[in-house]
Structure 1
Amino acid sequence: MEKDFNIFLEKSETEIEEMPIFKEYAIDFKTGEYIKKGNDIKVLEENEALKVWIFKALKTERFRYTDVHSDEYGSELQNNIGTIYHKTVKDALMINQIRDTLLVNPYITECYNFVISNEDEYVPQITFNVKTVYGELEMEV
């Protein structure tokens, strides 16, 4: 008897649902304030909206605002502040935490090419690429 498990792995064309266009309110990345367009807040779409979502998800402490966000939203990067790990261990932890934070979003498919610069010993700058359903982005934390 031949077993075909592909029926569990592949969705038929009728089962695949298209995701709506991703939208987010525009913010000033330096101040965190919303950007207005006339009397309304400017709305971004696709990758520009995902940049805002990524920024906010990485800045929001996971498990702190459970009345507003699910347990999957937010990052645990702040847990690394003041830790005394070897640099390679700390870098690996931060990379994994960034991936865990971002890959809960169904519009984000991959995070890669992490570069961690430690010019400031206490607050490293991390640049990385994000592959989304709309293309690729370069982000900095």
Structure 2
Amino acid sequence: MSVLPEIAQLEFETQDLPNELEPMGKSFLFDFTKGEFVLRNGKMVEVEGLDALKVWIEKCMRTERYRFRVYEGVEYGVTLEDLIGSNLPRAFVEAEIKREVTESLIQHPYIDDIQDWRFERDGKWMRVQFRVITPDGAFEQEVGYGA
């Protein structure tokens, strides 16, 4: 006779959790410098996978949150306009950009983390670079702001 309970007879509630993420879907390649979709033979160029994710990231980082009615009620975009080119201390600006961008981007189901931040600043111009960590690996992303 054992003094330990028979664990094999205990019942536990289990919950089925998805093992895989849904397919990322397609997007269209956008030239953010020119401000227009990339056309090939008169048609917009479709991208998928990591290329679609890169387009989503840059679009999110260039969309000022709360400015456009199409995004009302949705937490999409960033609030960086008052930071870029401001006279606030550089350490504060960079910390706020890290916080704001990370909070916005990790909402995407394919983004696990944002790391390895780098900043270049010249007056009202700034380049923000970072590493995006996904379930499938990592890649570098860069976005420039200002004149």
TM-score tier (shorter): 0.7 to 0.9
**Is 1:113–2:105 an aligned residue pair?**
no
Cα shift at 1:68: 4.3
Instruction: From the two aligned structures, give the one with the greater strand fraction.
Output: 2
Alignment of 1:18-37 (within 5 A): 18-37=21-40
Match of 2:135 among 125, 133, 136: 133
State the TM-score, normalized to the length of structure 1. 0.80
CA contact (8 A) 2:29 2:38 kept: yes
Report the TM-score when normalising by structure 2. Answer: 0.77
Q: 1:59 to 1:80 in 2, by over 3 A?
A: same
Amino acid at match of 2:118: V
Q: CA deviation at 1:81?
A: 3.6
By how many angstroms is 1:73 displaced? Answer: 0.6
Q: Shift of the alpha carbon at 1:130?
A: 0.4
**Structure 2 gaps, min length 5:** 1-11
After TM superposition, which residue ranges in structure 1, 4 or more long, deviate above 6 angstroms? none
The answer as to whether partners of 2:102 and 2:114 remain within 8 angstroms in 1 is yes
Count of residue pairs the alignment pairs up: 131
User: Shift of residue 127 of structure 1?
Assistant: 0.9
The 1:100–1:112 alpha-carbon spacing in structure 2 relative to 1, beyond 3 Å, is same
Larger Rg: 2
Identity within the alignment, %:
29
